[in-house]
Each structure stands twice: as structure tokens, then as C-alpha cells.
Structure 1
Amino acid sequence: MRTIHVTCAIIQFGDKTLAVQRSKTMKLPLKWEFAGGKIEEGETEIECIEREISEELNIKIEVKERLTPVTHQYPNLKIKLIPFITEYLSGELELREHCNFLLADKNDLINLDWAEADLPILKEYLSL
């Protein structure tokens, strides 16, 4: 099975961190995740995450740090999730794919129902 390379952004708004909830029509409906998406051919990881966040959330971010990638096997899909800690720069947050968002204190994020691939990333983020 082919592995799909996906980036995700842990977006910090000052002392709050953004989590987004998948819509009912997406795979893994209503699970929480860090926003992001598939790397397109010829695109770097950084270009991908900046593009995806602009497309999905209508905001600009600055990438600060790359965390440990996670390879996760879902029943019909294998992904390599490449996480970045980022900071919000500008724009008005607008959900274009997700149904909900939360700006939370870092340590409150653990209480959400996360997509499985995001859990190791969340744990690493919480340990920093």
C-alpha cells in the first residue's frame, strides 16, 4: 500500500493552540486534528503546509519547528504525517473544510477526540 505524505500545523495564537474538527462528510468524521493536507508533486513540506493552511483556514502562518513524523496505518490508507509548530501571522480564520475549531490552552487539547494519527504528535507537542 502506498504511503501518502501529509503535513499538519500546530498553529499557535499567542498562548492558545488551534485544533480543528473534521466535518461529518470527511473521512474520520467529527474527529479533531491539526489542519493540513497532502504534499503535491514538486512541493516542499513547508510550501505544502503554508498552502494547505491558506486554503483550509484563510490564514497565513510562520513555520517555527518540525516535529517527529508519524506513519499511521488506517484500514484503507497509510499516511506519513509531518507536523510543524507554527505561529499565526495574519488573516481572518475561516473554516472551509472543517465544521468546528477550538483555540485552547495547550494542556486542554488532550481532552478532545483526536484522529489516531494526530495522537503521537499531540503527545510530543505536550512534552515540549
Structure 2
Amino acid sequence: MKIIPVTCAIIQFDDKILAVQRSEKMKLPLKWEFAGGKIEVGESEIDCIEREIFEELNIKIEVKERLTPFTHQYPNLKIKLIPFIAEYLSGELKLREHCRFLLADKDELINLDWAEADLPILKEYLSL
């Protein structure tokens, strides 16, 4: 099975972290995740996460650090999730795909119903 490379961003707004909830129409409906998306052909990981965040959330970010990528097998696809810590730079946050967002304290994040692939990323981030 082909592994699909996907980036995601843990976006910091000062002392809060952005989490987004998948809409009812998306795969894994109503699960929480760190926003991001598939890397396009010829695109770097950084270019991908910056593009995806702007397309999905209408904001600009500055990537600060790359965390450990994690491969996750869903029933019908396998993804390699490549996480980045980023800081919010500018723009008005507008949800284009997701149904809700939350700006949470670090210790509040664990209480959300996360997509399985995001759990190891969350665990690593909380241990920093």
C-alpha cells in the first residue's frame, strides 16, 4: 500500500495552541486534528504546510521546528504524518473545511477526541 505524505502544524497563538475539528462531511467526522494536508508533487514539506494552512484557515504561519514523523495505517490508507511547530503570523482565522476550532492551553488538548494519527504527535508535543 502506498504511503501518503501529509504535513500538519501545531500552531501557537501566544500561549494557546490551535486544534481544528473535522466536519461531518470529511473522513473521520468530528475528530480533532492539527491542520495540514497532502504534499503535492515537487513541493517541499515547509511549502506544503504553509500552503495548506493558508488554504484551510486563511492564516500565515512561521514554521519553527519539525517533530518526529509518524506513519499510521487507517483501514483504507496509510499516511506518513509530518508535524511542525509553527507560530501564527497574520490573517483572520476562517475555517474553510473544518467545523470548529479551539485555541487551547497545552494541558487542555489531551481532553479532545483526536484522529488516531495525531495522537503520537500530540504526545510528543506535550512532552516538550
- Specify the TM-score bucket, using the shorter chain as the normaliser: over 0.9
1:126 — aligned with what?
Answer: 126
Once residues 3 and 24 of structure 1 are traced to their aligned partners in structure 2, the CA distance between those partners, rounded to angstroms, is 25
Amino acid at match of 2:49: I
Once residues 109 and 121 of structure 1 are traced to their aligned partners in structure 2, the CA distance between those partners, rounded to angstroms, is 12
How does 1:98-109 map onto structure 2 within 5 Å? 98-109=98-109
Aligned CA RMSD, in angstroms, stands at: 0.2
Which deviations, in whole Å up to 9, do the C-alpha atoms of 1:36-75 show, x marking residues without a partner? 0000000000000000000000000000000000100000
Once residues 120 and 107 of structure 1 are traced to their aligned partners in structure 2, the CA distance between those partners, rounded to angstroms, is 15
The alignment covers a number of residue pairs equal to 128
- Unaligned segments of structure 1, at least 5 residues: none
CA shift at 1:107, angstroms? 1.0
2:90 — aligned with what?
Answer: 90
Once residues 46 and 106 of structure 1 are traced to their aligned partners in structure 2, the CA distance between those partners, rounded to angstroms, is 24
Once residues 70 and 124 of structure 1 are traced to their aligned partners in structure 2, the CA distance between those partners, rounded to angstroms, is 11
CA shift at 1:78, angstroms? 0.2
Once residues 33 and 121 of structure 1 are traced to their aligned partners in structure 2, the CA distance between those partners, rounded to angstroms, is 10
After TM superposition, the score normalised by the length of structure 1 is 1.00
Which deviations, in whole Å up to 9, do the C-alpha atoms of 1:81-120 show, x marking residues without a partner? 0000000000000000000000000111000000000000
Percent identical among aligned pairs is 87
Once residues 70 and 121 of structure 2 are traced to their aligned partners in structure 1, the CA distance between those partners, rounded to angstroms, is 7
What SS does the corresponding residue of 1:23 show, helix, strand or coil? coil
Amino acid at match of 2:44: T
Once residues 106 and 82 of structure 2 are traced to their aligned partners in structure 1, the CA distance between those partners, rounded to angstroms, is 19
- Unaligned segments of structure 2, at least 5 residues: none
Once residues 18 and 25 of structure 1 are traced to their aligned partners in structure 2, the CA distance between those partners, rounded to angstroms, is 21
1:21 — aligned with what?
Answer: 21
What SS does the corresponding residue of 1:108 show, helix, strand or coil? helix
After TM superposition, the score normalised by the length of structure 2 is 1.00
